[in-house]
Amino acid sequence: MAVDEIKEFDAELYDAMTGELSRQRKSIELIPSENFASLRVLEASGSVFTNKYSEGYPGKRYYGGNEFVDRAERLAIDRAKALFGVPHANVQPYSGSPANFAIYFSVCKPGDVIMGQNLTDGGHLTHGWKTSESGQIFKSVPYHVSAEGYIDIDEARRLAQENRPKLIWIGASAYPRALPLREFSEIADSVGAYLVADISHIAGLVVAGMHESPAKYAHIIMTTTQKTMRGPRGAIIMVTDKGLEKDPELADKIDKTVFPGMQGGPHDHTTAAMAVAFKEAMSQEFKDYAKQMILNSKALAEALKKHGFRLVTGGTDNHMMLVDLTNYGKGFGVFAQEALDQIGITVNKNTIPKDPSSPFYPSGIRIGSPAVTTRGMKEPEMEEIADIMSACIEEIKDSSLPSGKDERQAYIRDFKKRIGESARLRELGEKVIALCDRFPLYPGLEY
């Protein structure tokens, strides 16, 4: 997969592309929603399917010349149905957020009550957060996690009884434990709500049997395909048997909302890449990958705990964990993210339950194992990563977020300058590169 044409034609973009490839190769990627797609997936994403318009669905298109697109889309649909054990799949949503809005507009009307996990408790923006249209078009009644970080099922049950939502989300962006699917299905059924499982984070675990499947509990399942599924950037919406029992027209409603309700031509190159990723996800190799992802996540969690870090809920059942840094000070997640970035460990700052600070200056970081596991790293490397992270945090432990807004910005500017000059962080950065070099990424790929 050479990019010689770009190299010849556009030196500036070529420079950005080589920079990004080198960044990915030389850093430890711990953002739990990121991964490394296979060269096969990248080839399909960059294929001639980019050129085609195919509004409609296989066999029912508004444009000619779709016989090969139809084949690709049918492959993606059939493989998604087989992987997730569902009777219907729509593989056209451009991404997770538009997919979630397509679900809303298939089963809800503006002003209807919806329930989702609160954003600062680990939920997703589109599950009803106030700055998302989902929190403005619908009446959002969020549920929360307990002080220990587990979903507060009793609160969710009470809120559902009191508010009679039309739709309830189960699924999160920052939740390190198994989803209480059976409990949420009982809650949704008791008030006649649609239960929608947004499994964007855990889909790869679900298809490999490493997390319980929502297929028998939820009416609708949505997942993005680029996270633990290791596919292209896109999303799919599935209707379960339970969903069709509740509303035999549900699949049709979803399809009509996606197209022509909300989207025009599907991204056929992404559909093709999904087909490849789904075929990969059917393999024993993928099952082994998912198993190792969890072993690595647990090993990283244990190693961090040995270094004295507090993890929300005390650990993890899945591919991710939330590190609570409140003992270093309010908003310390900002410093941790910057300093780790400086040494080549990529994480994201994240709120922790009952965060004393704000989502922009949160007190924790969110980390996970999908990408490092794809690189081939195992439990011993998780311990090495925890050692490096601990040494990095130790180096910046005296940093503290001022309370005034202007002072904060000046302090963070100065902090970045200081970490850029730190000999200790430079030394840790060299360790990161040495570790990465032992696990080559895309060997043979030349930009």
Asked if 173 interacts with ligand DSN (CB under 6 A), we say: yes
Which is nearer to ligand DSN, 33 or 337 (by Cβ)?
33
Which is nearer to ligand DSN, 61 or 349 (by Cβ)?
349
Q: What are phi and psi of 150, to 5 degrees?
A: -85, 150
Which is nearer to ligand DSN, 124 or 230 (by Cβ)?
124
- CB of residue 96 vs ligand DSN: minimum separation in angstroms? 6
Which parts of 259-321 fold into alpha helices (H)?
268-281, 284-306
Transcribe 356-371 into DSSP letters: SS-SSS-SEEEEESHH
Asked if 185 interacts with ligand DSN (CB under 6 A), we say: no
Asked if 243 interacts with ligand DSN (CB under 6 A), we say: no
Residue of this chain nearest to ligand DSN (CB atom): 33
Assess whether 379 carries a catalytic annotation.
no
User: For residues 275 and 361, is the Cβ–Cβ distance under 8 A?
Assistant: no
Report the site for ligand DSN in 85-104 (rule: CB under 6 A): 96
Q: Which residues contact 284 (CB under 8 A, 6 or more apart)?
A: none
Which is nearer to ligand DSN, 166 or 201 (by Cβ)?
201
- CB of residue 33 vs ligand DSN: minimum separation in angstroms? 3
Assess whether 133 carries a catalytic annotation.
no
Instruction: Tell me the C-alpha distance between 162 and 152, whole Å.
Output: 16
Residue with tokens 């969690």: 301
- CB of residue 72 vs ligand DSN: minimum separation in angstroms? 26
> Which of 163, 177, 413 is CA-nearest to residue 294?
177
Question: Which residues are paired to 143 by β-bridges?
Answer: 117
Assess whether 198 carries a catalytic annotation.
yes
State both tokens at 197. 């499982």
Report the site for ligand DSN in 191-220 (rule: CB under 6 A): none
| Residue of 120, 126, 223, 224 with catalytic role | 224
Which is nearer to ligand DSN, 58 or 359 (by Cβ)?
359
- CB of residue 292 vs ligand DSN: minimum separation in angstroms? 21
| Residue of 61, 166, 177, 227 with catalytic role | 227
- CB of residue 237 vs ligand DSN: minimum separation in angstroms? 15
- Tell me the CB-side half-sphere exposure of residue 110, using CA atoms within 13 A: 3
Given the DSSP bridges, would you call strands 167-170 and 28-29 parallel, antiparallel or unpaired?
unpaired
Side chain identity, residue 376: G
| Residue of 152, 198, 355, 381 with catalytic role | 198
Q: Using CA atoms in the order 264, 268, 270, 274, what is the torsion angle rounded to 10 degrees?
A: 120
Which is nearer to ligand DSN, 227 or 375 (by Cβ)?
227
Among 28, 29, 30, 33, which residue interacts with ligand DSN (rule: CB under 6 A)? 33
User: For residues 31 and 347, is the Cβ–Cβ distance under 8 A?
Assistant: yes
Assess whether 227 carries a catalytic annotation.
yes
Q: Which residues contact 263 (CB under 8 A, 6 or more apart)?
A: 92, 93, 94, 98, 102
Binding mask 111-140 for ligand DSN (x = CB under 6 A): -------------x----------------
User: For residues 263 and 271, is the Cβ–Cβ distance under 8 A?
Assistant: no
| Residue of 81, 233, 253, 354 with catalytic role | 233
Which is nearer to ligand DSN, 114 or 419 (by Cβ)?
114
306 Rama sector, left if φ>0, alpha if ψ -120 to 50, beta otherwise: alpha
- CB of residue 345 vs ligand DSN: minimum separation in angstroms? 16
Assess whether 53 carries a catalytic annotation.
yes
How is residue 193 annotated by DSSP? P
Catalytic machinery residues: 53, 55, 198, 224, 227, 233
Chain residues binding ligand DSN by CB under 6 A are 33, 96, 124, 173
